[in-house]
Amino acid sequence: MKNELISVIIACYNAELYIDECLDSIITQSYSNIEIIICDDASTDGSYSILEKWKIKDSRIILLRNEKNLFQATSRNSCINLAKGKYILIHDIDDLSAGNRIEVLLSNLLKNNVSFVSSSMATIDDQGKVSYDKILKHKKWPNKYDFLWNVPFNHPATLFLTDEINKVNGYRVDKETKRGEDYDMFMRLYSIGAKGMNVDEPLYLYRLDSDNYKRRTFTARIDECKIRYKGFKKLNILIIGFPFVFKPLLVHFTKRFIEFIMKLLRIK
């Protein structure tokens, strides 16, 4: 396997509880030729102080800081702009990587000649317990029609060719991409002919706690509809995909209806 430099990019916001465990899982990777670029997005807790200590501890860490909260798309783009690696590895600050994650992803990317490779994910609950019972996974070779229902890749588990990300100018920064920046970028990549694949092995441990559900607001659903419309248009699947543009709203109102019925049943 070629010993190319890999740039690990991380956006951090108020994650003081998770930083140590996260970075431990990265610096101990079996593939060691990495740089770790972290952008603190104006955290209000002790995150930045912890990151400064890590920068002293490991010379591979490059630390940035936003003066105000600019959200993940902007923070990740700042990291990408400094990246020197041929490949970019995404990582969320509250998640963990298996020790051989980079090695396995890079091997698959080189062997299959694709633009990016993602993996399945195990989950971490509110108590910090890792579960392999419900693996978050997708089909091995997604096509553009797989974007109709959902994102067919686990974004934080992905390794990209840096040149491919640069071709689409990284993440699109807009009001509507405060949450769905990954969905948007994957569709833009596919629209220029890039292709990705998924490996079954759960190389990434994803924190799926109550906060994930709190962020799925009505406004976030509207923003996802806008992302879907623009993405489907770029992929030339808008005619068949138009009904799917409104899927987030259907999910939102269905969930609210079920909650309403359950509340009535509890009252009775």
Tell me whether residue 253 is in a domain: no
The crossing angle, in degrees rounded to 10, of helices 47-57 and 19-27 is 20
Q: Rounded distance, CA 243 to CA 228, Å?
A: 10
Query: What tens digit of pLDDT does each residue of 183-205 get?
Result: 999 999 999 999 999 999 999 99
256 has a pLDDT exceeding 70: yes
Q: Rounded distance, CA 23 to CA 51, Å?
A: 9
Looking at residue 175, its pLDDT comes to: 93
The boundaries of the domain holding residue 205 are 6-215
Q: For the domain that residue 33 is a member of, what is the CATH number?
A: 3.90.550.10
Q: Rounded distance, CA 157 to CA 186, Å?
A: 13
What's the token pair of residue 157? 């588990």
CA distances from 242 to 153, 228, 231 (A): 21, 9, 11
Closest of 46, 178, 164 to residue 116, by C-alpha: 164
What's the token pair of residue 139? 């089909």
Tell me whether residue 263 is in a domain: no
Tell me whether residue 220 is in a domain: no
Query: What tens digit of pLDDT does each residue of 165-177 get?
Result: 999 999 999 999 9
Looking at residue 239, its pLDDT comes to: 97
pTM, rounded to two decimals: 0.94
What's the token pair of residue 205? 């441990």
Tell me whether residue 109 is in a domain: yes
Average pLDDT value for residue range 108-117 = 97
Query: What tens digit of pLDDT does each residue of 59-78 get?
Result: 999 999 999 999 999 999 99
Tell me whether residue 265 is in a domain: no
Tell me whether residue 80 is in a domain: yes
Q: Rounded distance, CA 135 to CA 137, Å?
A: 6
Name the residue with higher pLDDT: 253 or 172. 172
Confidence band, pLDDT 50/70/90 cuts, at residue 163: very high
Cβ neighbours of residue 181 closer than 8 Å, sequence gap 6 or more? 72, 73, 76, 171, 172
Tell me whether residue 160 is in a domain: yes
Q: Into how many domains does the chain fold?
A: 1
Tell me whether residue 133 is in a domain: yes
Looking at residue 64, its pLDDT comes to: 98
Average pLDDT value over all residues in the chain: 94
264 has a pLDDT exceeding 90: no
Kindly state the percentage of the chain with pLDDT values over 90.
86
